[in-house]
Amino acid sequence: EVEPEVRMEAYPVDAYPVHASVGNVAVNAAGDVAGAVAGDAAPGKVFRSYDDALPGVKEAYRKMRSLQSVEHVRMCHAKYCAPGSLGSVRMSIWEALATLDGFVDLSDPDTSLPNSVHAFQCAEGLRAACMPDWLQLTGLLHDLGKMVYLRGCDKDGTSMAEQWSIVGDTWVV
């Protein structure tokens, strides 16, 4: 059986002031990545450039595109999100952010900093761009789901070593 080519397209978000411009990113089933999306920092600074990405970044996207499915999402939801499941933990937002101190997103070609730092960078970037408070808060909290790695497993792609189920740019499955 031939594996179909899988494409990931960047959505045009140039209407939002935090983005300078947007390009396209394509990933096929072999993990070949091309293109870039312009970021929200200094003029000329390009984020999401996969051309020179480490092999681990490309492998993470290859696994995302080939292993994620509606069935997989439903299984992870039941295993990690349902009341009484592995993911049922009560903590404050600050405690939750602190869990990301030990998590580095292997799919991110732009940084090797812990996700807790990324959360504050995102919120601060939105604040500096005069975005509304609700969006700044969203920027701070947007990666909290990654804390599933604390109870995740390699098979599900939810562990520190195998992150393909909890990181990366998302799409509809």
According to the model, what pLDDT value does residue 164 have? 93
In-domain check, residue 100:
yes
Give the pLDDT confidence of 77-89 residue by residue, as tens digits.
899 888 877 667 7
Cβ burial, residue 4 (10 Å; 0-12/13-18/19+): exposed
In-domain check, residue 5:
no
In-domain check, residue 169:
no
In-domain check, residue 7:
no
In-domain check, residue 9:
no
Q: Give the mean pLDDT of 55-74.
A: 89
Split into its structural domains, the chain has a count of 1
Range of the domain at 124: 25-150
Measure CA of the first residue to CA of the last residue in the chain; give whole Å.
21
DSSP conformation class of 3: P
Q: What is the pTM of this model?
A: 0.66
In-domain check, residue 6:
no
In-domain check, residue 115:
yes
Q: Where are the alpha helices (DSSP H) in the chain?
A: 55-67, 70-76, 93-99, 115-128, 133-141
In-domain check, residue 85:
yes
**pLDDT above 80: residue 154:** yes
Residues belonging to the binding site are 118, 142-143
Residues belonging to the binding site for Fe cation are 118, 142-143
Total count of residues recorded for the chain:
173
